Structure 1
């Protein structure tokens, strides 16, 4: 096996913070488990049930989905670590998976449903979108790349998650898109994942990095996490469409950065600041030297409302380049999908009872 070469970025330079309790990713092999599973190709193909449209979908894409086996030394404990997740063929040389699946390893092998194994080289990774790209040494002739959908998902849309929960290769679970444009946060991450797709398709440890696909086999999202029963999440195809090509080309991706802390304008914030509507987001703090420094005004203080500390005096962001920004979800999504570092956006805001517009030139997020 080739080394998991780190020729573009030091693979362990910035150890990814664990997402314990939230990620459905790099599952440790369970010594106490008696569950075993192998490729459907090992089963006698005679006398099979009729199946369904999902059976056809499974057969169309399963050879493009891989199991990711990670090896090496954990950076947090120094102990030897093993784990596994999922991935999918993006083009004829590259497999997409989650950053957190490969973050603590120094080598990774992939196994296709055909039983073929291949070694890999890390091409690029992005902590902020939890995406990573591996270059593979071998692709079976029967495997074809999966395309990212160019359509925004809608609630109620049927989807399927394909991957390797608990190391059980060749697994499909089905459901619907149960929410869109989510903002997935954790205590370990300063910046939440934007534009996340929510699904009720079952995802479990080992599913992370695998595709969430529509009925045409197009990737709606890259499975990332599960929080509880009947709810899971995936990094959207729209974000992956921006990040993955940059990882292949440059080994990294730069996210736009304002340098502000924000608070949604709910009824209490609106009342405390004499605002006519509970909409937009208030700037509560500005990072020194950031893009917003000297352009946007942070809150000047707080007042108590119903035993809660409410910011007052800060700019309320209403729109970017004419696009309404009613909440933090809209703000995060706009920055993630419509802007890049160096872009100048027109920020319409409410300040001192007046609606004004200020131009803001975006920076790049600081390194982890």
Structure 2
């Protein structure tokens, strides 16, 4: 762990953002400071951090006790990520390579978090992968998250996690203080959002235009069934039908409701995605050309069950970033919302 930290310490920064917040319509605005961890991802001075920059009037980073102004290239509340670019680069710094990692680390894998908590210099924290989750209670995450034993405190959301070989694992998405754990946005998801922010300044997500329900059968256990095909949606006219059992969407096997949200997260608007379904006793593959998910179809506020895990890098007077962006669904019931 000593080598992992010493080799990557120069890539870690503290991110600060100021904005004006009004307690009420009649009260004067107050200047509020948001603080988080970030890290360099290129030699050009790009920095990834959490979405503490939304609405900020000024953003800067601290690197070896020197301040550098930063430009916001893009931010995304769904993934709780933001991409910055420094106006002036430090003379000496390193950066982390955000690589594709299609297979999630197994439970028991050791991980090292590199963060700048409060006003302390960058420091390491060690933990293990405890599992991967698609939901918290009956609220779905936007994609499958890693759950680790790394405890997250103020200023540490946005910190990178590495394995003991120094390979990038993901970014701290939110803390689970009651469990002394954390939710980690995996490397593949970080890469997908980073590329969107770099090229267009915002992340776009796919819309399938269907609702699903989970059912339990004695033969197969839990299975995911198409509940409704929405009118004027990508799924309408595609050949998908209510009652179809979803087996696979693109490259993702569908075994739980969260797998549908995960497939939607990685699908690209405008592209064809193959749906493999079981209809009666036959398996049928159906291509669907997905479209862009509109803002009104994305949940924009933290659900009550997740209030304890919202990113902990902000003053209590500041609205918290959205930790999820997919609808509520319950086992053995229709989702009531579309994916």
- TM class by shorter chain equals 0.7 to 0.9
Query: Structure 1: 5+ residue runs without aligned partners?
Result: 1-53, 299-313
CA distance in 2, matches of 1:184, 1:168: 33
1:258 Cα deviation after fit? 0.8
1:10 paired residue number:
none
Q: Secondary structure at the match of 2:118?
A: helix
Which residue of the other structure, out of 52, 66, 69, is the alignment partner of 2:16? 69
Q: Distance in 1 between matches of 2:259 and 2:224?
A: 10
Q: 1:347 to 1:209 in 2, by over 3 A?
A: same
The alignment partner of 2:113 has SS state of strand
C-alpha deviation, 1:361, in angstroms? 1.3
**Per-residue Cα deviation, 1:310-357 (whole angstroms, up to 9, x for no partner):** xxxx332122357532122333333334x3112222322234565433
| Greater CA drift, 286-295 or 192-201 | 286-295
CA distance in 2, matches of 1:176, 1:73: 38
Q: Is the 8 A contact 1:75 1:104 kept in 2?
A: no
Which runs of 5 or more residues in structure 2 are unaligned? 299-339
Flag the 1:240–1:284 CA change in 2: closer, same or farther, 3 A.
same
What are the within-5 Å matches in structure 2 for residues 141-152 of structure 1?
Answer: 141-151=91-101, 152=103
Whether 1:103 and 2:24 are equivalent positions in the alignment is: no
Moved more, 245-254 or 82-91: 245-254
Which residue of structure 1 lines up, in the alignment, with residue 69 of structure 2?
119
**Does 2:2 align with 1:55?**
yes
Residues 256-292 of structure 1, C-alpha deviations (whole Å, 9 max, x = no match)? 2212232233x2xx37xxxx42343122344432212
Task: Give the alignment of 1:260-339 within 5 angstroms.
Answer: 260-265=210-215, 267=216, 270=217, 276-295=219-238, 296-298=240-242, 314-321=243-250, 324-337=253-266, 339=267
Q: Give the deviation of 1:75 after TM superposition.
A: 7.1
Checking the alignment, whether the CA contact within 8 Å between 2:53 and 2:75 is kept in structure 1 is: no
Does the 8 Å contact 2:140/2:261 carry over to 1? no
**How is 1:1-368 mapped onto 2 (pairs within 5 angstroms)?**
54-74=1-21, 78-92=29-43, 93-99=45-51, 101-112=52-63, 114-151=64-101, 152=103, 153-180=105-132, 182-184=133-135, 192-227=141-176, 228-265=178-215, 267=216, 270=217, 276-295=219-238, 296-298=240-242, 314-321=243-250, 324-337=253-266, 339-351=267-279, 355-367=283-295
Distance 1:321 1:69, change over 3 A: closer
Matched residues in 2 for 1:191 and 1:286: separation? 20
Separation in 2 of the partners of 1:184 and 1:124? 26
Cα gap change, 1:247 to 1:290, in 2 (>3 Å): same
The structure with the larger Rg is 1
Q: Distance in 2 between matches of 1:105 and 1:75?
A: 14
Give, in whole Å, the separation in 1 of the partners of 2:22 and 2:59. 16
Say whether the 8 Å CA contact 2:79–2:173 is kept in structure 1: no
Structure 1 CA distance for aligned equivalents of residues 227 and 127 of structure 2: 39
TM-score, normalised with respect to structure 1: 0.70
Q: Under a length normalisation based on structure 2, what TM-score does the superposition of the two structures give?
A: 0.76
Q: Distance in 2 between matches of 1:195 and 1:145?
A: 26
Q: Residues of 2 paired with 1:196 and 1:107: CA distance?
A: 31
For residues 229-260 of structure 1, the C-alpha deviation after alignment (integer angstroms, 9 at most, x for no partner) is 23211111111112212211221222222122
Displacement of 1:118 after TM fit? Answer: 0.4
Matched residue count: 287
